[in-house]
């Protein structure tokens, strides 16, 4: 039986699997005569497997990896006192 992965090892594994799926997927795109670039009829089973792998490990990363901190946006008040819904200008 294999050794259990800790959180950071699992995240690294998931990122590696996603990267590998993207590498494989670049060779599977729509080509001439309605076929995949690999010669299989579309939808290509390899491309579908890559998409499934990417979705699976993105879900793993969502549970295990830290997410990006988002800026806090507070509503601005106009001179009339009403909230200004416009996004802050850059
Ligand atoms: Zn293909």
Quote the ligand 1 centre to 56 CA distance (angstroms).
Answer: 20
Q: What is the pTM of this model?
A: 0.65
pLDDT value of residue 35: 95
pLDDT value of residue 47: 94
Quote the ligand 1 centre to 29 CA distance (angstroms).
Answer: 7
To the nearest 10 degrees (0 to 180), the angle between helices 7-25 and 45-64 is 160
Quote the ligand 1 centre to 24 CA distance (angstroms).
Answer: 9
Quote the ligand 1 centre to 6 CA distance (angstroms).
Answer: 34
Ranges of each domain in the chain: 1-33
Token pair recorded at residue 67: 């997410």
Residue ranges of the chain whose pLDDT lies below 70:
1, 66-68, 78, 81-90
pLDDT value of residue 81: 67
Quote the ligand 1 centre to 18 CA distance (angstroms).
Answer: 17
- 3-class state of residue 13 by DSSP: helix
């Amino acid at each position: 039986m294999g050794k259990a992965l800790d959180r950071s090892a699992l995240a690294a594994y998931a990122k590696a699997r996603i990267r590998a799926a993207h590498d494989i997927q670049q060779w599977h795109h729509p080509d001439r005569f309605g076929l995949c670039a690999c010669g299989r009829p579309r939808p290509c089973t390899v491309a579908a497997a890559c998409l499934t792998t990417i979705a699976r490990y993105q879900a793993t990363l969502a549970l295990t990896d830290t997410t990006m901190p988002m800026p806090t946006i507070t509503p601005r008040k106009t001179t009339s006192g009403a909230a200004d819904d416009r996004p802050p200008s850059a």
